[in-house]
Structure 1
């Protein structure tokens, strides 16, 4: 799963956590209606 492997990241908008190597850290604010989400 993304965020569990050494070379991947995952962001969960509902709980504001950024995951890397299966460790979650609170990051920024949660998604809300009307937000534009992107990645690169």
Structure 2
């Protein structure tokens, strides 16, 4: 049971990291054509 919980947390954190990286990269791509944000 404990190993299962550890595995679940591990998978969840890795998925969350991947989602954050994808969101961050898409934000950077959206900002680049405008020449930076707030300029």
Do the two structures share a fold, i.e. TM-score over 0.5?
A: no
Select the structure that is richer in helix: 2
TM-score by length of structure 2 reads 0.19
* Bigger radius of gyration among the two: 2
Query: TM-score, structure 1 length as denominator?
Result: 0.19
| Greater relative CO (CA pairs within 8 A, separation 6+) | 1
